[in-house]
Structure 1
Amino acid sequence: MTGLVVAMDGPSGSGKSSASRGVARALGLRYLDTGAQYRAMTWWMLKQGVDLTDPEAVAARCGEAEIVSGTDPDAPSIHVGGTDVSGPIREDEVTGVVSAVAAVPEVRARLVALQREIIGAGGIVVEGRDIGTVVAPAAPVKIFLTASPEARALRRSAELAGTTAEAQVAALARRDTLDSTRKTDPLSMAAGAVELDTTALNLEEVIAEVLRLVKERT
């Protein structure tokens, strides 16, 4: 398993994070949340007062942010310039604008390079939206997680205080549109990936199915 790369893609609320961490833990692999890196970049831009509606301004500053990702599935971390931003990057201020930052080609190029550096020789489960298509297209195991809009909204509302499933349906639809229609590295299922609908599955069942696919493909 030391050289294995498991690519886990899918939209928000599909269960990527919990499943990816569970799979990494079960296999004794590292874990990387690439979405956290885009959120960290967005948080840094906000703190720097960068106009996020101006792609050129975002592109000009994206090389300055020092982003460090921890890869322990039991305690994943994300730091920017030495500051732990695990909490702040999940707040509404970042969530509402991260898609705009993630759509900037220079941001994607910077973070894809960082992600490939972390992946290195393998031994890792990587979750995101373009892992199987762009970051690690040669990964032997590529999974695309999906779920119904209602199931995804319920999961997101359970994770976020002060929000409802009804509000999350609209928010997720907007995020899906932005992620799947951006010009650079849009959200899509990679060639050779297995689509796994998690709507009717609990976390343990999702992890078990991914582990079965890993065994089958390795």
Structure 2
Amino acid sequence: MTIVIAIDGPSGSGKSSVSRAVARRLGLAYLDTGAMYRAATWWCRHEDVDFADEDAVARAVVAMPLEMGVDPDAPAVHVGGEDVGAAIRTTEISTAVSAVATNLAVRDELRRLQRAAIDAEKLEGFSDGRGIVAEGRDITTVVAPDADVRVLLTASEEARLARRARELHGSAGQDAVEATRDQIVRRDADDSTVSQFHVAADGVATVDSSELDFDQTVDAVLAVVAQLTAPAAKADAADA
């Protein structure tokens, strides 16, 4: 049985780490689409492209030599053969990524690449045809609206700010939270102009992790997966 799991949600909801854990538990490939937008931002900076020139940004992204690793244990990101996994997580990229992510032509190109990655895992790829967990903006509604499982992973703003502060600064104190606020609140506000990720679309299950720890959140998503794939699993067993 091949399975496609699509997970969306606001910044700091834990969708990346949870998606990787779900992929690992199920033996599936993992696609971090947010890393694709970060890589595009890094590439535009590398190529000295003016972020204000939307056409130039779009052309640069179309030409970007991007390679996305889909191993949940080592989801590497390479551009032109260079490992940019660490570089795309810097504050410099985090503060600039919305300028690229809100470019509609860029979104069209990266969505095309995302669909291609998902289709590759349906055939063979890293997962040998078992499938993929893809996470990020537009996944549940635009990129993979026909995924077997679609989840909106959400949490309160307070919980999301605290999590990201601990991740970036090692503390959820007031200063760390305020230093993180721009990356969470401002980016979500920017991205919401081109993508809907605060409210689940029809057919998308919601998992609220505000009061859950990491393992509980992973278990909650796996429970949704088990519930939604049970009929197909039974049908496959009957046909065997």
Residue range with higher mean Cα deviation, 156-165 or 76-85? 156-165
Which is helix-richer, 1 or 2?
A: 2
1:138-177 matches, cutoff 5 A: 138-161=146-169, 164-177=176-189
Are 2:197 and 1:187 equivalent residues in the alignment? yes
Amino acid at match of 1:210: V
Q: For residue 74 of structure 1, what is the aligned residue in structure 2? A: 73
Displacement of 1:56: 2.0
Displacement of 1:161: 3.6
Q: For residue 118 of structure 2, what is the aligned residue in structure 1? A: 119
Secondary structure class of the residue paired with 1:68: strand
1:42-53 matches, cutoff 5 A: 42-53=41-52
% same residue: 51
Q: TM-score, normalised by structure 2?
A: 0.85
Q: How many residues align?
A: 215
Unaligned runs of 5+ in 2: 123-129, 230-240
Displacement of 1:216: 0.6
Distance 1:116 1:91, change over 3 A: same
Amino acid at match of 1:155: R
Secondary structure class of the residue paired with 2:192: helix
Q: Is the 8 A contact 1:150 1:165 kept in 2?
A: no
Q: Which has the larger radius of gyration?
A: 2
Are 2:212 and 1:213 equivalent residues in the alignment? no
Amino acid at match of 1:96: T
Q: For residue 62 of structure 2, what is the aligned residue in structure 1? A: 63
Root mean square deviation of aligned Cα: 1.5
Q: Distance in 2 between matches of 1:190 and 1:115?
A: 20
Amino acid at match of 2:81: G
Displacement of 1:186: 4.3
Q: For residue 210 of structure 2, what is the aligned residue in structure 1? A: 199
1:120-135 matches, cutoff 5 A: 120=119, 121=122, 123-135=131-143
Unaligned runs of 5+ in 1: none
Q: Is the 8 A contact 2:152 2:197 kept in 1?
A: no
